[in-house]
Structure formats: C-alpha cells, structure tokens
Amino acid sequence: MAIFMIGIQRSGSNLLRLMLNESPEIAAPHPPHILQRMMPLASHYGDLSKAGPFSLLVDDVCRLVELNPVPWDGVTLDRKDVSERCRNQSLVAVFGAVYDVMAQAWGAKTWCCKSLANIYYLPEIEAYFTDAKYIYLYRDGRDVAVSFSKAVVGEKHFYHIAKEWNEAQQLALSFRKRVQEDRFFNLSYEELTTGPERTVRALCRFLEVEYKASMLEFYKSDEARRAASASNLWENVTSPLIKNNSRKFLKEARESDIRIFESVAGESMDTLGYERLFAKKGEELRFGPDQIVGFDKENKRLKDEIRQRTDPADIERRKRQESVIQEIVARSGKG
C-alpha cells in the first residue's frame, strides 16, 4: 500500500511527513518530486517499451533522487534492481520502484510520498497503485499565500497563489467523490496544529499503523535536522509544533490582497469551511486583462526580490536537480 499526500505546498506537509516518518512502519522521506519534474518530460524518451529508452529513464530518475536537497540516508539505487521492481515500463513504475527501494532500506513496510503536486497526476497514480491511500492536506489559503510570499519557491502575488490553491483544492475535492472512502483522509492544517494527538491517532487508524508518542516529537529526529539544514523553508521542523500558527494573514496581509484571494478562490474556501472576510459570495472582484498583466509583473518582481535574499547555498542545492532536467531537455533536442 502506497501513501500519497495531495494538496499544495506551505500547508504543513513537511511537518506531517516527519510525524509519519517516526512510525517504524512508514518511510516518509523528503521528496525529489519525481512525477512533478519528470512527467512533463516523459515524451522526450520515445518508446519506453524498448530497453534503451527505459534504461535511460531509470537512470535519470535515480540521479534526480541522488541529488535531492535532503538526501535519502542509507539508500543505494542500483539501476538493474530498480528496473526489475517495475511492473511495467512507465515513469510511475520507476517512481514506485525507487520508493520501494528506499522503504526496504529504512526497514519500513510501506512509504509515503509527500510531493503534493501528485494531485495533478492522480489518473496515472490510480492506474498503477490500485490500493493507494490518500491524505488530502489543506490549509486556509490566505495563510498559504502569506507563507508563499516569503518562500524561495512558488508564486508571490496573491492572485497567482489563489489560482494555484483553488485549482489544487478543486482537483482534490473532485477526486474525493470518486475514490473509496476508506482510501481517502481529509486533514486540515488547523486540525493538525490545534489537536495534534487526536488528529494523528485518527490518521494512524486510517493508515492501519500503530500510533507512537514519538510522532509528536518529530522535531528531535535526525531527519528533521537534515531537512532544516538544507533550506530555510524547513527551518521550523526542528522546533515543537506551533499551535497558534493560523490566521496569520490577518496581521501579515493587506486587505486588498485578501480581497483578491477570496475573489479568486472563494468557492473552495466555502466548501472547506473558511469564512470569507472581504469578498462575500456574489461580491467577488473581477479582473481585466490589464490588471492581470500588472499582477504578472508584480509577481515577477517579488520572485526576483526573494531570490536575491535567499541563501546561495540553498539555491545551489536546488540547481543540482535542475541540472538533470536541463540535461534531459538538451539531450532530446526538444525545447
């Protein structure tokens, strides 16, 4: 049984994966985002039923994992072993195989992938992992926007963040209607932080693993220290759970930005129970082409500003994986 988190970043996924990783039954490493990075490039390999293209794909995926900013400690990816573990010759099969190798190396019976962008590849995941379980992790999008606005990754303008947040929630909510109830778990960041033991116990029952008190002491683990040292994105994971970490947008966001977010993502907010403050239903703002162009320019400016303030070592660690992607594109001759 494979376990997938779905949703959008800055929703507490690193916190949750470190909690799950404390279970001896679950291996939950920092994700190399295999499907997110490689699925758009799958066509570059040609016919994967042929040995040459498939072997090349296996090697590229393994290199991507080996260059992960937070290394998979104690994991060796033998290309022949990875290939033999695949039930078919596809990217999803290779993805599953490297996670299987990792879980075996860590002595776990199953694994959890916390790459929330897997929300965009659910048909491919469902076709291969027929008994997979899903943890739909969500957080008030206005707090997600505040977090993204300060992070090295992601969009920066509330309009762009709202579009991405809303799309991810709609995909998850739609999928929830189609998958069996015993394979889908709803979990809000707010529930996790205000009632961690109750929430994690319920999650363990869903996953059919034993609850461990150490799951709430995730911040003491070596894995937490490795994550925190790799990027300031994850610096909080070596501290105890912050219980009053919600509705930060009330102090850190402008009313105009909150109004933009609620106008764009109001439907998902309503469904998930997040009260709108400034753009009630039927009172949403409408944005014309000129306004959106302005949002685009501001979004780029904010991204450049954040990047200039980011630790160069953090950027360099991210470039290592990006070099693999650039090599694949250059090798295929496809722009």
Give the tens place of pLDDT for each residue, 42-78: 999 999 999 999 999 999 999 999 999 889 999 999 9
Mean pLDDT, rounded, for 220-227: 91
Asked if 145 contacts 158 with a C-beta cutoff of 8 angstroms, the reply is yes
Q: What is the mean pLDDT of residues 9-35?
A: 96
Q: How far is CA 231 from CA 79, 206, 225, 227, in A?
A: 29, 31, 11, 7
The answer to whether 70 and 115 have CB atoms below 8 angstroms apart is: no
Across the range 72-86, mean pLDDT stands at 97
Torsion on CA atoms 38, 42, 44, 49, rounded to nearest 10? 130
Q: What's residue 333's pLDDT?
A: 73
Is 85 or 245 the better-scoring residue by pLDDT?
85
Bigger pLDDT: 234 vs 170: 170
Q: For residue 67, what pLDDT is reported?
A: 94
Residue 111, pLDDT > 60, answer yes
């590229």: which residue's tokens? 60
3-state secondary structure of 86: coil
CB 153 within 8 A of CB 9: yes
Contact 19, 216 (CB under 8 A): yes
Beta-carbon contacts of 113 under 8 Å, excluding residues fewer than 6 positions away, are 2, 3, 4, 5, 31, 99
Q: Give residue 233's pLDDT.
A: 66
CA distance 3 to 112: 4
Query: Is the model's pLDDT at 123 over the cut of 70?
Result: yes
Task: Please give the Cα distance from 167 to 139 (Å, whole number).
Answer: 14
What residues have CB less than 8 Å from 20, skipping those under 6 apart? 3, 26, 28, 112, 203, 207, 215
Confidence band (pLDDT; 50, 70, 90) for 309?
Answer: confident
- The pLDDT of 101-124, averaged and rounded, is 97
Does residue 232 have a pLDDT over 70?
A: no
- Ordered structural domains, the chain, with CATH: 2-29+106-319 (3.40.50.300)
Q: What is the pLDDT of residue 334?
A: 63
